[in-house]
């Protein structure tokens, strides 16, 4: 992210639209959750907008599954349900900003454009010093022709054409009025609604990195714009954990509770699987171990759910511009049998880290009744994490 100008004195909110299902992309899940150069597509826009100096709050418009994968929201952000159409999604977000004054500024951005940069936001806010609305645009470099029935027709003059991007910036009162007076008229973006009021919309220089994710092939384009595999190095970390089995405690392994006569003893919920994975990821990062970040001497972690630790490790990967390539977890236990729970454990780990389940392997073994695990005194786990990190 480029360095921002001084924060605007105006109160600024952001509306981030992430309610689409992205069926044309063909990913089998919302495209905003697909992994792009180290983090989910949605996080690219959310991190930049939430971190913009002077931004006072925001509204994330998303379905419940996307919202769950993004929780918790940044400080000052709210959630809103998406509508059937984009226009209704924006209207729902505006309803969440009821307490905001009309002279505030609102940025409306599509999460499908993950390459948003603070410099574009700077230009938009500067343009509002003399306008009620501003949009980023790019010139049209290609020759344009009319096309029908598989044949090229007349050339269309491109000198007066531009490609429109998001985020788009508006004075909040102007955008409210545009939606209130739309009377059911459909529009592909909010600038169209504002122009229908007779309001002039200023244009600023856009950014090629604001390429829109529509089809699966766009992921390769965005990866080239935002970062390439050639710039990444592979790092591997190993984790190991063991806890004693005791009566009277629930048994948590791999983020799920397993019915058993005994549970694991520890300062937190003693989930050996998630502890081993956390250490493996931190090891690959060269970022200490679980005890450094969550010391057992700290009472706030007493009885804590271990998914918080694993989620933290995943966030550390993203903060370093990396991505989790693969995780391999082995549970070492004489009892209970882990096999029936392997798929649930795999899916839970993938959910915690917001990565595809295909990047997680869960196995189980015994020690043939040898040692403390063979005597059913405890359970152990070992894990290997493979991550990609930017070259430094």
Tokens at residue 160, please? 């007066």
**What topology is assigned to 230-390 in CATH?**
60s Ribosomal Protein L30; Chain: A; (3.30.1330)
Residue 373 pLDDT > 50: yes
Portions of the chain given CATH number 3.30.1330.50: 230-390
Collect all residues with Cβ–Cβ distance below 8 Å to 370 and sequence separation of at least 6: none
- Largest Cα–Cα distance of the chain, in whole Å? 82
Place 4 in a pLDDT band, splitting at 50, 70 and 90: very low
Q: What is the separation of C-alpha 357 from the centre of its chain, rounded to a whole number of angstroms?
A: 16
Q: Is there a contact between 317 and 327 (Cβ–Cβ < 8 Å)?
A: no
Which residue stretches of 153-270 are H helix? Answer: 172-180, 190-195, 217-226
Mean pLDDT score, 53-60: 92
Would you state the pLDDT for residue 392? 60
Q: Which CATH number fits domain 12-227: 3.55.10.10, 3.40.718.10, 3.90.550.10, 3.40.50.300?
A: 3.90.550.10
pLDDT tens digits for range 230-257? 457 899 999 999 999 999 899 999 999 9
Determine the Cα–Cα distance for residues 48 and 193; give it in Å rounded to an integer.
26
- Cα gap 80→59, rounded to integer Å: 7
| C-alpha atoms less than 13 angstroms from C-alpha of 170 in its C-beta half-sphere | 28
The boundaries of every CATH 3.90.550.10 domain in the chain are: 12-227
Q: What is d(CA 256, CA 274) in angstroms, rounded to the nearest whole number?
A: 10
pLDDT, mean over the chain: 89
Residues of the chain by 3-state class (helix, strand, coil), percent to 5 = 35, 30, 40
Nearest to 213 by CA among 10, 4, 35: 35
Q: Residue 179: its pLDDT value, please? A: 94
Checking if the pLDDT of 23 tops 70, the result is: no
| More confident call, 228 vs 141 | 141
Contact indicator for 355, 322 with CB cutoff of 8 Å: no
Averaged pLDDT, 84-111 = 94
Nearest CA among 102, 103, 95 for reference residue 79: 95
H or E, element range at 379: strand 378-390
Contact between 115 and 44 (Cβ < 8 Å): yes
Phi-psi region of 250 (alpha: psi -120 to 50; beta: other; left: phi over 0): beta
Express each pLDDT in 104-157 by its tens digit: 999 999 999 999 999 999 999 999 998 999 999 999 999 989 888 889 989 988
């Amino acid at each position: 992210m480029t360095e921002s100008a001084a924060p605007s004195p105006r109160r600024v909110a952001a509306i981030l639209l992430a309610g689409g299902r992205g069926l044309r992309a063909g990913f089998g899940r919302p495209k905003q959750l697909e992994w792009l150069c180290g983090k989910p597509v949605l996080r690219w826009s959310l991190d930049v907008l939430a971190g913009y100096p002077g931004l006072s709050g925001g509204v994330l418009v998303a379905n419940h599954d996307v919202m769950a994968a993004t929780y918790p929201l940044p400080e000052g952000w709210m959630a809103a349900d998406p509508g059937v159409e984009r226009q209704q999604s924006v209207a729902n977000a505006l309803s969440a900003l009821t307490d905001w004054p009309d002279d505030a500024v609102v940025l409306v951005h599509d999460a499908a454009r993950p390459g948003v940069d603070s410099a574009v936001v700077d230009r938009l806010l500067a343009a509002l010093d003399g306008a009620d609305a501003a949009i980023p645009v790019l010139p049209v470099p290609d020759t344009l022709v009319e096309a029908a029935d598989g044949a090229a027709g007349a050339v269309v003059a491109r000198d007066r054409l531009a490609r429109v991007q998001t985020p788009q910036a508006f004075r909040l009162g102007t955008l409210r009025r545009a939606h209130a007076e739309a009377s059911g008229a459909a529009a592909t973006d909010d600038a169209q609604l504002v122009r229908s009021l007779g309001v002039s919309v200023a244009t600023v220089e856009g950014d090629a990195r604001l390429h829109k994710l529509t089809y699966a092939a766009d992921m390769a384009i965005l990866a080239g714009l935002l970062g390439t595999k050639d710039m990444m190095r592979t790092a591997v970390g190993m984790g190991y954990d063991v806890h004693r089995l005791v009566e009277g405690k629930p048994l948590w392994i791999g983020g799920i509770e397993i019915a058993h006569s005994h549970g694991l003893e520890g300062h937190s919920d003693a989930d050996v699987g998630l502890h081993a994975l956390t250490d493996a990821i931190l090891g690959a990062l060269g970022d200490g171990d679980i005890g450094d970040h969550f010391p057992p001497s700290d009472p706030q972690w007493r009885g804590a759910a271990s998914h918080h630790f694993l989620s933290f490790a995943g966030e550390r990967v993203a903060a370093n511009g990396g991505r989790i390539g693969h995780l391999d977890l082995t549970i070492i236990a004489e009892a209970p049998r882990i096999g029936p729970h392997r798929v649930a454990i795999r899916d839970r780990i993938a959910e915690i880290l917001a990565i595809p389940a295909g990047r997680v392997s869960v196995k189980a073994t015994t020690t043939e009744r040898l040692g403390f695990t063979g005597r059913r005194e405890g359970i152990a786990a070992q894990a290997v994490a493979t991550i990609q990190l930017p070259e430094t």
